[in-house]
A and B are shown apart, each in its own frame.
Chain A
């Protein structure tokens, strides 16, 4: 198979998978619940992606996810405002959650910051080892790196 055809085919398949992952995902999100509270009354949902604590009280907390804020009824444990958390809760209309389980993701910010270092190192060594041939549109080894 020719290279342009392979690139086109792979790109189309990847695009289709992204579309399918978005449209067919059975998980119910907080946005789904708030958009149609009656339909999702009592539904168990997981909030795990980029969820931060806004405020805490001894028996409840407010969390933020993707521009949405929601009150969660249940003890926040040792989660503090500003921290990342993941939680499982039941949705109660019109717009609150009953907490079932909560995990403070302490160290997530440090994880994100540390994770930049390997990417910078990879970029540095990559550019030292390869150069991009703009005419043929591929990376080729710089001569001094070749071992065969």
Chain B
């Protein structure tokens, strides 16, 4: 996976417009979900890595997103399902661009153990861009807040 700041930056580019305000956090949750459910387990408990194989796959993450949406208020549930699922798809879209030694991710799990990736960059390569992503987000949010205050006045 690229780092979560890079995932978050891609999500921010897509859902920053005001019309997405209500589903923005749900989209971010979906964007981070595949890594939230799998990475802490095998980083903290490497012996359990075998149990996390399924977790970082599209089907598992989408079902997990549907489960998460069940814990939203009924009037938001349908939106939550769509927004979390869209965020998950964005996550895997970025992951598809990576390169790994050996197998990458099992896109069609549990139906196939074949993996495929575009091989454009190594998973840890994006970390050098993190300061740039943070600078862009911070500057843009500051400008938008400043413009919002001035237009309100």
Chain A residues at the B interface, C-beta cutoff of 8 Å: 3, 6-7, 10-11, 13-14, 17-18, 20-22, 24-27, 29, 46, 48-50, 65-67, 84, 86-88, 101-103, 105-108, 110-112, 114-115, 117-119, 121-122, 125-126, 129-130, 133, 137-141, 146-148
Q: Report how many A-B pairs have Cβ atoms within 8 Å.
A: 148
Nearest chain B CB to A44 CB, angstrom units: 9
Interface SS majority for chain A: mixed
Q: Across the interface, which residues of A come within 8 angstroms of B118, CB to CB?
A: none
- B32–A122 CB distance below 8 A: yes
Interface SS majority for chain B: helix
Q: Across the interface, which residues of A come within 8 angstroms of B76, CB to CB?
A: 140-141
Q: Does B142 contact A (CB under 8 A)?
A: no
Q: Across the interface, which residues of B come within 8 angstroms of A112, CB to CB?
A: 43
- A7–B21 CB distance below 8 A: no
Q: Across the interface, which residues of A come within 8 angstroms of B151, CB to CB?
A: none
Q: Across the interface, which residues of B come within 8 angstroms of A111, CB to CB?
A: 2-3, 123-124, 126-127
Contacts A11-B67, A17-B110, A111-B3 given; 16 further ones with Cβ under 8 A?
A10-B67, A14-B60, A17-B60, A17-B63, A18-B51, A21-B51, A21-B60, A27-B103, A50-B46, A86-B101, A107-B125, A108-B123, A130-B25, A137-B71, A139-B73, A141-B73
